[in-house]
Copies of this chain bind each other. A is one copy, B any other.
Amino acid sequence: MSPAEATTLLVDHGRQVEAELETLLAGLDRPEAMPAERRLVAAMRHAVLGGGKRLRPFLVRAAAALGPAEPAAVLRVGAAIELLHGYSLVHDDLPAMDDADTRRGRPSCHLAFDEATAILAGDALQALAFEVLARPDWPASAELRAELVAGLARAAGATGMCGGQALDLAAEGASLDEAAITRLQALKTGALIAFACEAGARLAGLDPERRDLVSTFARALGLAFQIKDDLLDATGSAEELGKPAGADAAQGKATFVRLLGEAGARARLEAVRAEASRALDKLGPAALLLRATLDLVVERRH
């Protein structure tokens, strides 16, 4: 599959995810709601609609393509992951955290609204992510819904994203070795990327051996994603990124570029890409979409 074809699929799937998110967020509208409630929902919409590549939902779809899966289920799981991801960006941007003014080329949530509303919008998005997975209005058994909630919660919590963000904040100004920075990444961004792939494999009904291969791929993909992110932050422009470039270095953040240098980070990226590719070789031709996604992640310019 050519990069252009893969991009077209990504963009098209992103539109479907956007529509699913619109529907799920519209479910929060209440005729009796007071202005402050409407404002909270507006902040939630600001945080998750109208931006983002929707890479994680596409990973659900790409992994689900390894077997038969309900398109509606693929969309619901992808949307839940985006709700969770959107909440994490809102909280990461807060003044007490990374203190970021822009996100996806727009004011971050606490500037577009206010800090208290941003905290609450993030909190409510997290709750909504679990609600839309748990409730029975989409094609999934109760067993599957409970399993996905537990998996998403593990990826989100202290042994996942929250733990990773705690490591990231503690690493400012500190010098981490490669093992430490890899652990930081595995928790902060890797856990949710891995969940997206593993949830797709679950929807596709893969056997345990093939699900393990998807997990191996996902761990390598997540690492590749972060190394690429660090390279883009170090070498990209704000216009391309939709957020300030060089922000990581300015904050003394632990990044692969800071640790390995630009050339070293590029070499590491290629090694990790090869590792991901080997797992896909074993999954065979049905891994077409996962391979295209790997290429997109490694070759993206923003």
Contacts and interface: CB of A to CB of B under 8 A. Distances in A.
A185 interface: no
Interface size bracket, A side: 35 or more
A158 B126 contact: no
A58 interface: no
A152 B97 CA distance: 28
A91 interface: yes
B40 A162 contact: yes
A259 interface: no
Contact of A157 (B131, B133, B159, B187): B131
A98 B36 CA distance: 16
A94 interface: yes
A130 interface: yes
A154 to B, nearest CB: 6
A122 interface: yes
Number of copies: 2
Interface stretch (A60-68, A112-120, A201-209, A273-281): A112-120
Nearest to A169: B116
A9 to B, nearest CB: 31
B36 A170 contact: yes
Contacts of A126: 123, 126-127
A37 B87 CA distance: 20
Interface stretch (A101-109, A142-150, A260-268): A142-150
A37 B35 CA distance: 38
A166 B40 CA distance: 7
A134 interface: yes
Given A142-B143, A146-B134, A163 B119 contact: no
A290 interface: no
A158 B44 contact: yes
Interface of A: 28, 30, 32-37, 39-41, 44, 87, 91, 94, 96-97, 114-117, 119-124, 126-128, 130-131, 133-136, 141-143, 145-147, 149-150, 153-154, 156-160, 162-163, 165-167, 169-171, 180, 183, 187
9 closest A-B pairs by beta carbon, nearest first, are A127-B157, A131-B153, A36-B170, A134-B149, A96-B115, A124-B162, A134-B150, A124-B158, A142-B142
